[in-house]
A and B are shown apart, each in its own frame.
Chain A
Amino acid sequence: MSARLDELFARCRSENRAALIGYLPVGFPSYDVSVAAMLAMVEAGVDAIEVGIPYTDPGMDGPVIQVAVDAALRGGSRVAHAFGAVQAVSPHVPTVFMSYWNPIEKYGPKRFAADLRAAGGQGAITPDLIPEEAGSWLEAAAAEDLDPIFVVAPSSTDARLAGVGNVSRGFVYAASTMGVTGTRAQVGDRAEELVTRTRAQTDLPVCVGLGVSNGDQAAVVGRYADGIIVGSALVRALQDDGVDGVRRLTEDLAAGVRRR
């Protein structure tokens, strides 16, 4: 059993660095390779993993992840498989789901939470679920002692930041820019401001996602955030250079968060 998310962030804080969180969707390019790539991330120094559940209508995702989840679904990736992936990686590092809401609603929030807990998962990021609509999920997550992780954006008012802080556990996901997932030449300069504003409303760790794609960016963002979240860049590495590509990029990112 790996550390809990709060223990992970405490450790990273004591090491005076940000945590590295990596995302990959289950079933791209195949179930086995996606899990092998997640395990390669573990070996290369990732601190936590976001296991992505492929969904037909990923409104928060840019082209790289869209194409990958599309391929995963066409290849037969099912929600049930995602629990298997959690089971494979959760003994090594804290593991959470990244899932749009409808697959969870359809599965049944209670059963979903119970199965996630049984697989060793610690929580879930739900990019299209706002606290106001999250009643059934908050209840189910609390019953299984899971961390519900919500997203804040540069457009969030302070009142909304406080609201998200109140219901989140584990960490708060700060979307660095107004936009969808994808690699960017620069992480938006609104990210730091958002982290500062979020910290004023909650004591939870604040992790920055959207656009982080290499060690240099990880180093820059890691100076002000509690964690950095990398998705599209890892998916692209897997697509272009396979599991080894994921390993190399993860090493670069892991070195980045340790750079002073």
Chain B
Amino acid sequence: MSAVPDISGHFGPYGGRFVPEALIAALDELTAAHESAKHDPVFTAELDRLLSTYAGRPTPLTDARRLSEHAGGARILLKREDLAHTGSHKINNVLGQALLTKRMGKQRVIAETGAGQHGVATATACALFGFECTVYMGEEDTRRQALNVARMRLLGAEVIPVRTGTRTLKDATNEAFRDWVANVETTHYAIGSVVGPHPFPMMVRDFQRIIGVEARQQTLDLVGRLPDAVVACVGGGSNAMGLFHAFIPDESVALVGCEAGGDGVETGRHAAPLTAGTPGVLHGARSYLMQDEDGQTQDTTSISAGLDYPGVGPEHAFLRDSGRATYSGISDAWAMQALEMLAKREGILCAIESAHALAGACDWGRAQVAAGRDPRDLVIVVNVSGRGDKDVDTAARWFNLVSAEEIAEAELVRAHEGEQP
């Protein structure tokens, strides 16, 4: 069914392998391992077992009745990846890659992380499988997602703050690639999204597509038909590809991706490459990215560490150009409003990343109604990619939920923690 990628990992003009020659042997090995595992009933049974008994799948589909009025009256169904073990969809991918690591006979896993959710998921799988684990995280992100740094260390992982470049996910990814080049014979690099050189965009999608497979059946069971739209936030694009993929052949279903609009896409301070970027090569693949006229990667702005990334997975670039999926930027302010709305109306504290999807779903529903559709006929599935514990600190500041003295005190504690190894 899936025509892309081709055998060399291209989604039309996107994807491919733009990496040092030194990594090609490992990428070939990984491609072969994934290909053979896919058709190995022992492997797939083991992955299914882990997903159900360890990660808690299937995750529920929650009918969020009280959100309808914010979406022009459309019915909103929440795909609850926040209820998966470790608190986000990232575990789906990591369990698959951990099994592949074992299959390849490697003992060490490295990862990059932005919000820390992929790092936590990787540290978790490494604890479970007994692998050595190193996670690279931009120094800026270790600060805004301090809770996740502590979680990773508790799980036995080494967390290395990255101090080069913009000190965020982009630079953590560079550092992880450098580690991998030097240690590729013993180490697997578990990339956390549908980005990077082939086979990562395809492989991570394959491990995440369970989200959409479940959501599709759950929607059919609940409302007796397919949804009108499925909506997800897009950082690197893994939760979105995971949700979208099973729906691609269903042409009546709109695929809606929500990028980080930061201060507003029109300000230039955002992280929305599909909305406002141009095609280019970053981190091993051709896709849309935020770059200047010299091809230098531009700085990004987003309140959400997990979306604060100048690139995006190549399959999204392909879906964008073909028109099969549409993408837009959701501002920090709108995302935070959606986060509060979900918390107060449904009692669900979601990740700031996921709040972008909810905001985008509201926009989509209202636009359909404005265009003359009957809201009672509209069903929208929103991917709640993760839970919001890690973001309580950011939200507390945003909504002024704590006093200046309390913030100062918390900062002192954190500065002290920062001195620990």
In the bound complex, do residue B296 and residue A56 qualify as a contact, i.e. CB atoms below 8 Å apart?
yes
Task: Provide the bound-state CA to CA distance between A36 and B182, in Å.
Answer: 33
Task: Provide the bound-state CA to CA distance between A177 and B22, in Å.
Answer: 9
Find chain A residues with CB under 8 A from B177 CB.
Answer: 59
Given contacts A152-B21, A160-B24, contact A106 B178 (CB under 8 A): no
Task: Provide the bound-state CA to CA distance between A177 and B165, in Å.
Answer: 25
Find chain A residues with CB under 8 A from B170 CB.
Answer: 57
Selected contact of B21 from candidates A102, A104, A150, A177, CB within 8 Å: A150
In the bound complex, do residue A153 and residue B296 qualify as a contact, i.e. CB atoms below 8 Å apart?
no
Interface size for B (C-beta < 8 A) is 35
Task: Provide the bound-state CA to CA distance between A128 and B24, in Å.
Answer: 11
- Interface stretch of the complex, out of A38-46, A85-93, A129-137: A129-137
Q: Mark B277-307, 1 if CB is under 8 A from A, else 0.
A: 0001111101000010111110000000000
Nearest-neighbour CB distance to chain B for A13, whole angstroms, equals 25
In the bound complex, do residue B16 and residue A133 qualify as a contact, i.e. CB atoms below 8 Å apart?
yes
Selected contact of A107 from candidates B16, B26, B283, B295, CB within 8 Å: B295
Q: Mark A90-111, 1 if CB is under 8 A from B, else 0.
A: 0000000000011111110000
Find chain A residues with CB under 8 A from B164 CB.
Answer: 66-67, 70
Interface assignment of A117: CB less than 8 Å from any CB of chain B:
no
Given contacts A57-B297, A105-B280, A106-B291, contact A133 B18 (CB under 8 A): yes
In the bound complex, do residue B182 and residue A102 qualify as a contact, i.e. CB atoms below 8 Å apart?
no
Task: Provide the bound-state CA to CA distance between A58 and B178, in Å.
Answer: 9
In the bound complex, do residue A128 and residue B18 qualify as a contact, i.e. CB atoms below 8 Å apart?
yes
Given contacts A57-B283, A179-B182, contact A153 B295 (CB under 8 A): no
Q: Mark B1-40, 1 if CB is under 8 A from A, else 0.
A: 0000000100000001111111111100000000000000
In the bound complex, do residue B184 and residue A178 qualify as a contact, i.e. CB atoms below 8 Å apart?
yes
Task: Provide the bound-state CA to CA distance between A32 and B291, in Å.
Answer: 26
Interface assignment of B181: CB less than 8 Å from any CB of chain A:
yes
Interface assignment of A116: CB less than 8 Å from any CB of chain B:
no
Selected contact of A73 from candidates B8, B178, B284, B296, CB within 8 Å: B296
In the bound complex, do residue B294 and residue A180 qualify as a contact, i.e. CB atoms below 8 Å apart?
no
Interface assignment of A233: CB less than 8 Å from any CB of chain B:
no
Find chain B residues with CB under 8 A from A151 CB.
Answer: 20-22
Selected contact of B165 from candidates A57, A60, A103, CB within 8 Å: A57
Q: Give the secondary structure class of B's interface.
A: mixed
Interface size for A (C-beta < 8 A) is 41
Interface assignment of B107: CB less than 8 Å from any CB of chain A:
no
Nearest-neighbour CB distance to chain A for B39, whole angstroms, equals 24
Task: Provide the bound-state CA to CA distance between A130 and B285, in Å.
Answer: 12
Interface assignment of B174: CB less than 8 Å from any CB of chain A:
yes
Most A CB contacts (10 A, CB to CB) among B20, B23, B280, B283 go to B20
Task: Provide the bound-state CA to CA distance between A104 and B178, in Å.
Answer: 22
In the bound complex, do residue A78 and residue B294 qualify as a contact, i.e. CB atoms below 8 Å apart?
yes
Interface assignment of B346: CB less than 8 Å from any CB of chain A:
no
In the bound complex, do residue A175 and residue B21 qualify as a contact, i.e. CB atoms below 8 Å apart?
yes
In the bound complex, do residue A178 and residue B185 qualify as a contact, i.e. CB atoms below 8 Å apart?
yes
A 23-77 contacts with B by CB, 8 A = 55-60, 62, 66-67, 70, 73
Selected contact of B22 from candidates A102, A105, A150, A175, CB within 8 Å: A175
Find chain B residues with CB under 8 A from A130 CB.
Answer: 17-19, 21, 24
In the bound complex, do residue B21 and residue A103 qualify as a contact, i.e. CB atoms below 8 Å apart?
no
A99 and chain B: residue at smallest CB distance:
B295
Nearest-neighbour CB distance to chain B for A56, whole angstroms, equals 4
Q: Mark B46-83, 1 if CB is under 8 A from A, else 0.
A: 00000000000000000000000000000000000000
In the bound complex, do residue B295 and residue A103 qualify as a contact, i.e. CB atoms below 8 Å apart?
yes
Task: Provide the bound-state CA to CA distance between A160 and B20, in Å.
Answer: 13
In the bound complex, do residue A103 and residue B294 qualify as a contact, i.e. CB atoms below 8 Å apart?
yes
B10 and chain A: residue at smallest CB distance:
A133
Selected contact of A128 from candidates B19, B183, B184, B297, CB within 8 Å: B19
A 136-168 contacts with B by CB, 8 A = 150-157, 160, 164
Find chain A residues with CB under 8 A from B165 CB.
Answer: 56-57, 70
In the bound complex, do residue B281 and residue A102 qualify as a contact, i.e. CB atoms below 8 Å apart?
yes
Task: Provide the bound-state CA to CA distance between A57 and B138, in Å.
Answer: 14
Task: Provide the bound-state CA to CA distance between A56 and B291, in Å.
Answer: 10
Selected contact of B25 from candidates A70, A127, A156, A164, CB within 8 Å: A156
Given contacts A57-B170, A106-B291, A180-B182, contact A101 B20 (CB under 8 A): no
A180 and chain B: residue at smallest CB distance:
B178
Interface assignment of A204: CB less than 8 Å from any CB of chain B:
no
In the bound complex, do residue B20 and residue A153 qualify as a contact, i.e. CB atoms below 8 Å apart?
yes
Task: Provide the bound-state CA to CA distance between A58 and B22, in Å.
Answer: 15
Task: Provide the bound-state CA to CA distance between A203 and B284, in Å.
Answer: 30
Most B CB contacts (10 A, CB to CB) among A56, A58, A130, A157 go to A56
Find chain B residues with CB under 8 A from A101 CB.
Answer: 18, 281
Find chain A residues with CB under 8 A from B24 CB.
Answer: 130, 155-156, 160
Task: Provide the bound-state CA to CA distance between A104 and B165, in Å.
Answer: 21
In the bound complex, do residue A106 and residue B22 qualify as a contact, i.e. CB atoms below 8 Å apart?
no
In the bound complex, do residue B174 and residue A57 qualify as a contact, i.e. CB atoms below 8 Å apart?
yes
Q: Which residues of A does B touch, CB under 8 Å?
A: 55-60, 62, 66-67, 70, 73, 78-79, 101-107, 127-130, 132-133, 150-157, 160, 164, 175, 177-180
Q: Could you show 7 A-B contacts with beta carbons less than 8 Å apart?
A: A59-B283, A106-B295, A129-B18, A130-B19, A175-B22, A178-B182, A178-B183
Q: Which 5 A-B pairs have the closest CB atoms?
A: A106-B295, A153-B22, A179-B182, A103-B295, A155-B25
Known: A55-B296, A57-B282. 8 other contacts (CB 8 A): A59-B174, A59-B283, A79-B294, A102-B280, A106-B293, A132-B17, A151-B21, A175-B20
